[in-house]
Amino acid sequence: MSAGGRSLPHWAGDASLGIFVHWGPYSVPAWAEPTGALGAVPDDEWFAHNAYAEWYANTIRIEGSPAAEHHAREFGGAPYADFLDDWHAEAYDPVEWARLFRDVGADYVVPTTKHHDGVALWDAPGSGDLTTVARGPRRDLISPLADAVRAEGLRFGVYYSGGLDWAFTDFPPHRSSDEVTSLRPTDAAYNAYAHAHVVDLIDRFRPDLIWNDIDWPDAGKQPGSHSLESLLAHYREVVPGGIVNDRWGADVWDYRTSEYDHDTAHEASVGWEHCRGLGFSFGYNRVEDESLTLSPRELARLYADVVSRGGRLLLNVGPTAAGEIPAVQRRTLEGVAPWMSRVKPLTVDRRMLAPGEIEVTDASWWRAWRTADRLVVVTDSADAAVRPVDGDEVVLVTLPA
């Protein structure tokens, strides 16, 4: 049940895998220090040593940070905005992306439409030249992906950074989580700007899901024509089965989210969603090789764990500036696809097991859930033995090699 008393629609209850896509001017430098997972690195270290390549515009402004040193060495300290002009998306093939996502077993796809750098990937109203239509790729990157995703039978959502917009403000760089909270645009002008963007996304794309990030401008939390309340009322009217996440800074969410090792307390109720990249970054980080990227087996194990605890996995893909899925990420996605084709149908109409419903031996790791007519058990050993308490039919699935 959501904060507003709304049950998740059936499609969201059955969904178990989404694909996140972080793509922007930050994909040109494509660099971050791979320090570790969000939530596992102390807050006083995280921002100067940020593992998120999509935070490049912030990290390079922190004096003495490895990113600032990298930027000075590789790009001569050029303005971040130059990367928008250097981004051409010349190999972008949304149809091929959508087919890959379908083959992996995705239920829905959520691209970034505007990240914290303020660059919109469609001709967003009022954005001037801070769009991929006005500069760089010189085209709308969202519409063809929406069409391709839906042509493959998947649902389509949108990510929008409502809480941060570094192009809209002149605050100093964020050096702590407290500064993310305090140094953000909260005024009526930014609220009207963000409100118009999201209304346009709703009216153009009718997204099945809106994934807001960080917060929402405080001015929009008051009653009025540009209020968050009116925005979401419009969304519910246009997309009655649509859902929203929990990152609005207001009690309007339909489901809770966690991210890497952050906000894991939200992984409690049915319908929660865990998001992370294949490596430590969401945006493409050229530093992340196979040793820093989930293997097919590791991804399968993560997926089974999330599903068994009543959640959905929102797995991120970070394309190159050209628009290619990096080989190291494709290796994992294509490698896990055959396993997912077997397991994915076994997640429909699932529910969590009660303690003591099954006994599993001869396996060092296992996860399980119940469907309408059977128990599904994923183990790390083909020799595992499963004994259900009530004699139910058991489907035993071994993790990929």
Per-residue confidence band for 388, with pLDDT thresholds at 50, 70 and 90:
confident
Per-residue confidence band for 1, with pLDDT thresholds at 50, 70 and 90:
very low
Phi, psi angle pair for 353, to nearest 5° = -80, 150
Mean pLDDT of 315-330: 98
Q: What is the pLDDT of residue 4?
A: 57
**What is d(CA 3, CA 276) in angstroms, rounded to the nearest whole number?**
24
User: Torsion angle, CA of 65/68/73/79, rounded to 10 degrees?
Assistant: 180
pLDDT digits 0-9 by tens, 108-153: 999 999 999 999 999 999 999 999 999 999 999 999 999 999 999 9
42: number of Cβ within 10 Å: 9
Mean pLDDT of 263-286: 96
Mean pLDDT taken over the chain: 96
Q: 70 or 357: which carries more pLDDT confidence?
A: 70
Phi, psi angle pair for 153, to nearest 5° = 85, 15
Q: Say if residue 47's pLDDT is above 80.
A: yes
Closest by CA to 267, choosing from 279, 281, 255, is 255
Dihedral sign (CA 322, 326, 330, 332): negative
Q: Say if residue 2's pLDDT is above 70.
A: no
Residue length of the chain: 401
- Geometric angle at alpha carbon 40, from 185 and 210, rounded to 5°: 45
Cβ-count burial of 379 within 10 angstroms (0-12 exposed, 13-18 middle, 19+ buried)? buried
According to the 3-state scheme, what is the secondary structure of the chain? CCCCCCCCCHHHHHCCEEEEECCCHHHCCCCCCCCCCCCCCCHHHHCCCCCCHHHHHHHCCCCCCHHHHHHHHHHCCCCCCHHHHHCCCCCCCHHHHHHHHHHHCCCEEEEEEECCCCCECCCCCCCCCCECCCCCCCCCCCHHHHHHHHHCCCEEEEEECCCCCCCCCCCCCCCCHHHHHHCCCCCHHHHHHHHHHHHHHHHHHCCCEEEECCCCCHHHHCCCCCCHHHHHHHHHHHCCCCEECCCCCCCCCCCCEEECCECHHHCCCCCCEEEEECCCCCCCCCCCCHHHCCCHHHHHHHHHHHHHCCCEEEEEECCCCCCCCCHHHHHHHHHHHHHHHHHHHHHCCCECCCCCCEEEECCCCEEEEECCCCEEEEECCCCCEEEECCCCCEEEEECCC
Q: Show the tokens assigned to 256.
A: 């809770």
Count Cβ neighbours within 10 Å for each residue of 210-224 and write b for 16 or more, e otherwise. bbbbbbbbbbbbeee
Q: What percent of the chain has pLDDT over 90?
A: 94
Q: Which domains does the chain have, with CATH numbers?
A: 10-344 (3.20.20.80), 358-398 (no CATH)
Mean pLDDT of 42-55: 98
Residue 283 near residue 54, CB atoms below 8 Å: yes
Please state whether beta strands 273-277 and 312-317 pair in parallel, antiparallel, or not at all (unpaired).
Answer: parallel
Per-residue confidence band for 373, with pLDDT thresholds at 50, 70 and 90:
confident
User: Torsion angle, CA of 160/198/119/164, rounded to 10 degrees?
Assistant: -50
First CA to last CA distance, the chain: 37
**What is d(CA 238, CA 351) in angstroms, rounded to the nearest whole number?**
30
Q: Tell me the residue type at 355.
A: P
Mean pLDDT of 354-369: 93
